Amino acid sequence: MATAAEKETVVPADVSEKLLKHSHDADAALKAFEGFEGQTIELTEETNKRLLRKIDMHLMPILCVVYGLNYLDKTTLSYASIMGLKLHESSNKNASGIGITGSQYSWLSSMFYFGYLGFEYPTSRLLQRLPLGKYSAFNIIMWGIVLACFAAVENYGGAITIRFFLGVFESAVTPGFALFTSQWYTKKEQGTRVGIWFSFNGFAQIFGGLVAYGIAVGARKSGTLLEPWKIIFLVTGLLTASVGVIFLWAVPDNQLNCRWLSKEDRVLAVERIRVNGQGVGNKHFKWYQLREALLDPLSWAFFFYALIADIPNGGLSNFFSQLIVGFGYTPEQSLLYGTPGGAVEVVTLIFCGWAGDRYGHRILISMSGLTLAILGMVLIVALPLSNNSGRLAGYYLTQASPTPFVALLSLISSNVAGYTKKTTVAAMYLIGYCTGNIIGPQTFRASDAPRYVPAEITIIVCWGVCLGIMAFIHFYCVWQNKKKANLRAQPGYVKLENQEWLDLTDQENPEFVYTL
């Protein structure tokens, strides 16, 4: 379905010789049409809207909740750091902590991303080879169990181990959700959906801050059998594992085994994404697609954006509680005052995702959020320590920084075709993400507290470079679209029947149009 208008697609009884030649390597979507040869499949505007509502109702809530937990669970360490985790002992006889130094905390923050980095490409291959819904659910349940085990940690070595395996299991979530989005939604719908489920990072920041604040205040007033930092790990870990069980039941691997769609609706749900030219999945590993991904300038632009943009992210996501304490607030206040930053992230992500799809300039619109974040960091650096409220407002503005990261994540869904190539580019993007997040916490040195000026200047420089990379990606996609339009305009050009389901890459498919 290329437009909102009605369209009829005839599945021919005798497909072309080339289609038969490549059918064993074609996308799984082709199986949806078995038994419909020679029949007319009609997808009306009304039917399309009905299907979209049904897909949204069943998929988006669980994707949003899980992605919020994904952020909450890896940043629980930041809350725990000011709830007694670092202590050897305290006036509370039940509070002991694990006794770590400032530099050890930085490495503890980074260790999550070592696990993420080490398993990112293997998990991307497993996402291609194994049933997408079931493999994703397995990882969600496992990371919840691992996080809950942090409550039993007694020393730095145990904490390092937990953080590493937390990264291993969480590494499947973002690439898996990008595949879910490209599998179920058209290109014009993907930016908004990715923006919505990614925005639950912000909701998680609000929720996590309130929960941590409640636990901290309750422990101070009434005392607890367990240290407050252990309680926060148990609560978030067990909650995640429980949601993972729900995910296993609720989320199908693709349209073909979806229990909440009828047999006819399964075919129509595949037909409605024909316009993407990408299908719903292919389990065959294709070396030429791997090679194309590694030689494509767009792939490396994605990689370097993620690498450079996540140096700031790695620092801020693990040190935001301590940064707010540095503004002059108490540890308890920092738990509460950090929550409005989540609201800023939610609003900017959803607005930029919607506006990008609405006006067709996803990349350029997302750059506005990063510009706002740069302004916020300039306020933190430039304002004096005495201006607590002004520096706190600057921190809130920095929470608009994920908008381009999310836009590019949605573009991996929209602009990278060929299942092997898509999983490879997603892995490259997230390898850059991990590397940046490993570097980020190291820029926040204990000797620079409470201002952390060198880290803050590093963040401003990184975000400035990222604006340049975003501009390159926009103009490169414009250039590629012009080249493809010229190719399609050549005399004798013929579109192959069911070309959308042949698992072609974006470069080799002349019909493929890059989303801007």
| Confidence grade of residue 220 (pLDDT, cut at 50, 70, 90) | confident
pTM of structure? 0.77
Give residue limits of the domains in the chain.
7-279+290-501
| Model pLDDT, residue 17 | 42
Which of 11-15, 17-21, 92-96, 442-446 shows the highest mean pLDDT?
A: 442-446
pLDDT digits (tens, 9 = 90+) for 230-264: 888 898 899 999 999 999 999 999 888 888 988 88
pLDDT per position as a tens digit, 308-345: 998 988 777 767 767 777 777 777 777 778 778 888 98
Q: Is the pLDDT of residue 268 over 80?
A: yes
Which of 349, 37, 17 has the alpha carbon at shortest distance from 193?
Answer: 349
| Three-class DSSP category at 44 | coil
Q: Which residue from 455, 445, 438 is spatially nearest to 110, judged by alpha carbons?
A: 438
Is residue 65 pLDDT above 70, yes or no? yes
What pLDDT score does 221 carry? Answer: 77
**pLDDT tens for each residue of 342-379:** 889 889 988 998 898 888 888 999 999 999 999 999 99
Return the residue matching tokens 């803050």: 456
Dump strand ranges (E) for 6-157.
Answer: 7-10, 40-43
Strand, coil or helix: 292? helix
Q: What is the DSSP letter of 463?
A: H
Six-digit token string for 351:
């607005």
The average confidence (pLDDT) of the chain is 82
* DSSP conformation letters of 185-211: S-HHHHHHHHHHHHHHHHHHHHHHHHH
Instruction: Give the pLDDT of residue 274.
Output: 79
> Do residues 515 and 415 make contact, with C-beta atoms less than 8 angstroms apart?
yes
Q: Quote the pLDDT of residue 318.
A: 65
The burial class, CB within 10 Å (0-12 / 13-18 / 19+), for 431 is buried
Question: 7-279+290-501 falls under which CATH superfamily?
Answer: MFS general substrate transporter like domains (1.20.1250.20)
